[in-house]
Amino acid sequence: MTIKVRLSGEPAEIEELVAHLCEGFEVAGGDRAYPNRGSFGVRVYLEVRPRGDQPPKRRVPSERVNPSHEEIEP
C-alpha cells in the first residue's frame, strides 16, 4: 500500500514532519520543495508506505454517534 501525500507549509516545519514520518514509514520523495503559488511557504510531494519489518496494526472498529438534538437547551 502506497499513499501519495502533498505537504504545504514552512520549509523547516515540513523537514521536521518528514523526519518524523521516516521513523515509522518508508518515505520516498521530499527532497525537492516547490514554492506555493499565491500563498506562503512551499509544497513537497511524498510517497509513504508502511515499513515491511513492522507487523500490521490492528484496526479498531468505530461507531458513529449522533447526539439527540432534543437534549440541547437553547
What residues have CB less than 8 Å from 35, skipping those under 6 apart? 42, 43
Residue 5 lies in a domain: yes
Type of residue found at 30: G
Is residue 65 over pLDDT 70?
no
Residue 40 lies in a domain: yes
Residue 73 lies in a domain: no
| pTM (global) more than 0.75 | no
Q: What total number of domains does the chain contain?
A: 1
Measured CA to CA, the distance from residue 72 to residue 66 in angstroms comes to: 13
Residue 12 lies in a domain: yes
Residue numbers of the domain that contains 46:
1-51
Supply the mean pLDDT for the chain. 84
Residue 58 lies in a domain: no
Residue 64 lies in a domain: no
Measured CA to CA, the distance from residue 48 to residue 30 in angstroms comes to: 10
Residue 19 lies in a domain: yes
User: Considering the chain, what percentage of its residues have pLDDT values greater than 90?
Assistant: 54
pLDDT at 16: 94
Residue 60 lies in a domain: no
Residue 44: name the closest of 20, 28, 23, 22 by CA. Answer: 28
Type of residue found at 33: A
